[in-house]
Amino acid sequence: MRKTGCFLIGLVLAATAIFFVPPHVLAVNSASYIDFVIEAPHPDGIAVSWWGGASPLTGLNISVTGIQGDRSDDDFLGITGGLLSFTTGPLTSYDNTSWHFGSGGNIALTGGVSALGIASPDTLLLWGSFSEVSVLKVDTRFKVILASSYNELNADVANFFGVSGPYVGSLNLSFFSNESPGQPFTATSLQGGQIEATSVPVPAAFWLFGSGLFGIAALRKRRSV
């Protein structure tokens, strides 16, 4: 009877941990995602390339001009000298309308953000690796990169927008080239797009419930000694 009573008390404590958590602990982040804006014109040396075979898709010197959160009152933060470069995993397949690349590789965005006191244009603002990447042929010349990734964010950027990791990301970027899927290409006529980093935090209640269950186990162990 005493053990049953202790178990019930522990269960009540675990439930209390969920339903009586202070509101500021359970509150969602101020912003759930951040957009890094890709805009033309791009600097010299820009290129998106695939060299054929199992080689990866690569991007170099892609201009990123600013950061925008999803809150209605978020300021647009300009990026000075923002450059995006990436390398995907190897080509896995292609069909009549698209190329497909595997996971891995890397993505890195550098730049300065004067509004946050980030002066150096070589500062890492976002970095990570890809989970999957596709290049879609929209018409004879127009193509779009659609990719998903796992990202990390510069701490000053994350703090300003009130987000926390872990993050999942996406990349979309449009460009022009005459090649069809299966043919190698190097495109220097890039247009616009965006990189999105979405915060996916573990709910606070989950951790508190786990703490409550741990307390139950500890209480039962103590009573059994």
Residue 202 is predicted with a pLDDT of: 55
Contact in structure between 175 and 143 (CB atoms under 8 Å): yes
Establish if 161 belongs to a structural domain.
yes
Please report whether residue 212 resides in a domain. no
Q: Which residue range forms the structural domain that includes residue 181?
A: 29-204
| pLDDT at position 8 over 80 | no
Assigned domain for 190 exists? yes
- Does any domain span residue 78? yes
Q: Is residue 88 part of a domain?
A: yes
3-state secondary structure of 75: coil
- Find the mean pLDDT for residues 121-150: 94
Phi and psi for 124 in degrees, rounded to 5? -70, 125
Residue 75 tokens, joined: 């300021």
102-111, 115-124, 173-182, 192-201, range with the lowest pLDDT: 192-201
The Cα–Cα gap between 129 and 56 comes to: 13
pLDDT at 200: 83
Percent of the chain predicted with pLDDT > 90: 60
- Domain presence at residue 33: yes
Give the residue-averaged pLDDT of 21-28: 36
Sorting pLDDT into bands at 50, 70 and 90, what band is 75? confident
Could you tell me if residue 222 is inside a domain?
Answer: no
Does 104 reside within a domain? Answer: yes
User: 136 — phi, psi (to 5°)?
Assistant: -105, 135
10-13 long-range contacts, CB within 8 A, separation 24+:
10/212, 10/215, 10/216, 10/219, 10/220, 11/212, 11/216, 13/212, 13/215, 13/216
Number of domains in the chain: 1
Helix axis angle, 2-19 to 204-224, nearest 10°? 160
Report field, pTM of the whole predicted structure over 0.85 = no
